[in-house]
Amino acid sequence: MRILLIEDEEKLASFIRRGLREERYVVDLASDGEKGLFLAEINTYDLIVLDIILPGKDGISICKELRSKKIDSPILILTARASLKDKVDGLQQGADDYLTKPFAFEELLARIRVLLRRKRIDKNSLLKAADLELDQLAHKVTRAGKEIILTAKEYALLEYFLLNTNLVITRTMISEHVWNEEFDSFTNVIDVYVNFLRNKINKGFKKQLIQTIHGVGYILKDL
Ligand code: CA
């Protein structure tokens, strides 16, 4: 899951980013409104966390522009202003939820999970393919009941595959959802990580999960 955080307060932004990364989300950070809007337009985010008072362009305008451009990622507004008017404005311009500063990180996380879950077809936090299972709440992966230890990146990659079983996943899709802005498209880093992941989930099993579709990408079949 890839999240765009648009927040100009440096300390708060790095605190949120660190926390979200610990929860295995991929995070891009924009510290002004213009950059935030630009990133939201060129990338595909599963969720946008948006501050209201920003240099360059304010959060309400960003929200309005994104919705007018049919960008429908869930938007969670962060606001220091607790006035009812700001909240109403935000929701009217297409935001999905709001949170007033200061807030507890757990509260932010809970709201993010709800918005992401609302987006998913399957409301279950347990994702499955064949005998492989991934528990999104416990961050636990098992195959035939045996736990498999993955790195954060391998986990994010597997989660993306499991949310899109039986669909061909291109490298571009993987780079957009599992990597952040630091991704270098001129490397074979995706193939390397897919191989790391395959080695871990297939080791000792006859059925090999995640097939390569030559010239296109990969597929994880739920059979
Ligand atoms: Ca601000």
Question: What residue ranges do the domains of the chain occupy?
Answer: 2-119, 126-220
Q: How far is the CA of 121 from the centre of ligand 1 (A)?
A: 33
Into which CATH architecture does domain 126-220 fall? Orthogonal Bundle (1.10)
Say how far apart CA 81 and CA 203 lie, in whole Å.
Answer: 53
Q: How far is the CA of 59 from the centre of ligand 1 (A)?
A: 9
Q: Is the pTM of this model over 0.85?
A: no
pLDDT of residue 102: 87
Q: How far is the CA of 156 from the centre of ligand 1 (A)?
A: 29
Residues of the chain with pLDDT under 70: 81-83, 117-124, 181-183, 185-186
Q: How far is the CA of 169 from the centre of ligand 1 (A)?
A: 37
Q: How far is the CA of 9 from the centre of ligand 1 (A)?
A: 6
| H helix intervals, the chain | 10-22, 33-42, 59-68, 84-92, 105-119, 152-163, 171-178, 189-202
Collapsed DSSP state (helix, strand, coil) of residue 211: strand
Which residues have their alpha-adjacent CB atom under 5 A from ion ligand 1? 8, 51, 53
161 backbone dihedrals φ, ψ, rounded to 5°: -60, -45
pLDDT of residue 119: 64
- Name the token pair of 139: 């961050």
pLDDT of residue 187: 76
Q: How far is the CA of 6 from the centre of ligand 1 (A)?
A: 9
Say how far apart CA 78 and CA 53 lie, in whole Å.
Answer: 9
- Name the token pair of 78: 């962060």
Domain 2-119 falls in which CATH fold?
Answer: Rossmann fold (3.40.50)
Query: Which residues make Cβ contacts (< 8 Å) with residue 89, sequence separation at least 6?
Result: 60
